[in-house]
Structure 1
Amino acid sequence: MPDRLLIFLAQHARLVPEGLLRGLFLAAADLCWLFRIGGVRQLERNLAHVMPEADRRSMRRTSRQGMRSYFVYFVEALTVGARTKEQLLARIHGGGSAYPDPAKSDIGLRSLPIGMGHQGNWDYAGFWACSTVGQVTTVAERLRDQGMLNTFADIRRRLGMNILLTGEPDITGRLTTLLRKPGQVVPLLADRDLSRRGVFVKAFDSWIRVAAGPAVIALDARLPLYTVNMHRERLTGERRRQAKAPYGYVCQVDGPIAIEPYLDMPREQAIKDLTQAWVDQWAQGIREHPEDWHMLQPIFLEDLDLSRMHDLPDFILAQASENKGGDGHEGTRTKA
């Protein structure tokens, strides 16, 4: 029933006032936060790595902001089809070390492989990039609910994005070919990948397994790699009037990370080291705005069930064993 309702709302976005839906979803977010359900406990475990000095009160305040940010994203994703171009462009703008005044930069001319995380509103970011930077092509996770998948893939296509689905043949090769053309933008949500293709990297005070995709396409296309962080900002004045919303987003583009130092490395090492480089940039953005990181699933090594994971490197098994006081994760290693 909830999935059917979400699909209906997304397909009939103009029938439901955005403000009313926002109020309902914020109330639901507060209920989840108050009773610590719907991923709140895991969110707080994740935030504890980002905010190691935070006391309980600060942690609870940040997790509440995080849940409200997450639920508002769903409102915006459901109703984006009812927004005008002017409203959307008023709700988001670019920033960061790699996004100066576009009139003085070639960022819109070169193609951009990008690593990013589950922050802010990536639908808005994709629309903004299509409108101001270049043609966006990205990969969406293939959902078990075909109706949900088709609905949200179609919404993103109407926003101007090219959407590939996980499981399609040779996605990496297709993205690399695209990047060899000018004016292409390929952002990949990559801050969690527990498959055997994921790469373990250091993040905050622990280890996480992230997608290799951003590093792979950057290396194969011989292009510098960029990082995107997103956070919300309160809107005022004319911009708020145009947006018809109290909040908007900053799409912070950082980089470029030059790939030349990695080209002479063995392939696996190059992917790992380049991945670590963009994760270091991304982690700084998370530290600055932890309330906009929508990570309600286990991501840090301490929370992962290693017995269900494949091809674990020896150093991760050793670290896990050390974390457990030496009581043995050796038996958790499985074969592909």
Structure 2
Amino acid sequence: MLDRLLILTARYARWVPETLLRGFFLLAADVSWLLHVGGVRQLEANLAHVVGPVGRKQLRHISRRGMRSYFTYFSEALTVGARTTEQLKARIRPAGTGYPEPAKTMIESRSVPIGMGHQGNWDYAGFWAGRAVGPVTTVAERLSNEELLETFAQIRRDLGINIILTGEHGITERLADTLASPEQVVPLLADRDLSRNGVFVRAFDSWIRVAAGPAVIALDSHLPLYTVNMYRERLTGDRRHQAGTPLGYICSIDGPIDTDAFQGLPRDQAVQELSQAWVDQWSRGIREHPEDWHMLQPIFIDDLDLSRMHAVPEHISAEVELRRGKARGNRS
């Protein structure tokens, strides 16, 4: 039922007033938050790792903002086809320590690999990058509902983003080939990969398993690696009028991380250390704007069943078991 509603919303976006749809999604976010459904509980568990030992009231305040940010993303993504180019341009602006470095990289006819997480509105980021930096190619997760999958994929194609779906043959090689061409942008949502191909990195007060993709394609392409954080800002004046909405986004670009320093290492070590480097850079943005991190799934190893995970290093397992033992002792 929900999937069908999302598909119909996207299909008839031009006939749905944006303010009405945004209000509906915000109401749904508040109801979910008040009922403390599973996704909200997991979001709060994730946020607790990020913000540290804050009071329950403050954590609930952040999680409410997080749910409203998450649901607003869906209202924006489903109706992006109804927005004009001028509106979209006004809704996002670049910033960060790495900007305008990517543009300089493009002047040198080199391409830009990017590691990023589930934050803000990555469709808007792809739209901006495709016009300000270069053609964008990325990977989208394959969904069980093929019609919903095609709906979201087509939304991104209409924004000018080239979409590769998970499960397709030779994804890493295709991305490396793309980066071998001049003036290409390859951003990858990589903050969660629990498969045996994921890479363990330290994040906040724990460990997470991220996708190897950003590190692999940067190493194979001998290109510097960037990270992107996205978070909201309140719009004012002419920009708010042009955007047609009170809130926009900052696309914060950080880097570059020089991959030459990792090239002489054994392959697995190079991928792990470069992954750690981009996560260290990216996580600083999450700390500053945790409410715009849309991670409603388990990600921290402390919250996962280690017996169901593949190839967990012994030192990580031992560290987690030690913390769990201390927690049980404190409760007894």
* SS at structure 2 position matched to 1:276: helix
* SS at structure 2 position matched to 1:325: helix
* SS at structure 1 position matched to 2:325: coil
Contact 1:32 1:38 in 2 (8 A): no
Aligned to 2:227: 227
Distance 1:283 1:163 in 2: 26
Contact 1:13 1:82 in 2 (8 A): yes
Moved more, 32-41 or 203-212: 32-41
Q: Amino acid of the residue matched to residue 280 of structure 1?
A: D
The offset of 1:107, in angstroms, is 4.5
Identical columns (%): 67
Distance 2:114 2:53 in 1: 31
Cα distance change on mapping 1:101 and 1:140 into 2, 3 Å: closer
Q: Which runs of 5+ in 2 are unaligned?
A: 328-332
Q: Which runs of 5+ in 1 are unaligned?
A: 328-336
Aligned to 1:15: 15
The offset of 1:60, in angstroms, is 1.1
The offset of 1:325, in angstroms, is 1.8
Distance 1:273 1:306 in 2: 23
Per-residue deviation, residues 161-202 of structure 1 (Å, max 9, x unmatched): 000000111100110011011110000000000000000100
Aligned to 2:215: 215
* SS at structure 2 position matched to 1:250: strand
Per-residue deviation, residues 258-317 of structure 1 (Å, max 9, x unmatched): 011111100000000000000001100000000100011111111111222212222222
Aligned to 1:331: none
* SS at structure 2 position matched to 1:39: helix
* SS at structure 2 position matched to 1:191: coil
Alignment of 1:71-150 (within 5 A): 71-100=71-100, 105-107=104-106, 109-150=109-150
Q: Amino acid of the residue matched to residue 291 of structure 1?
A: E
Distance 2:100 2:20 in 1: 37
Alignment partner of 1:196 is 2:188: no
Structure with more helix by fraction: 2
Contact 2:106 2:182 in 1 (8 A): no
Distance 1:78 1:38 in 2: 24
Q: Amino acid of the residue matched to residue 177 of structure 1?
A: D
What number of residue pairs does the alignment pair up? 326
Runs of 4 or more, structure 1, over 2 Å off, are 100-103, 105-110
Aligned to 1:169: 169
Contact 1:92 1:249 in 2 (8 A): yes
Aligned to 2:285: 285
Aligned to 2:41: 41
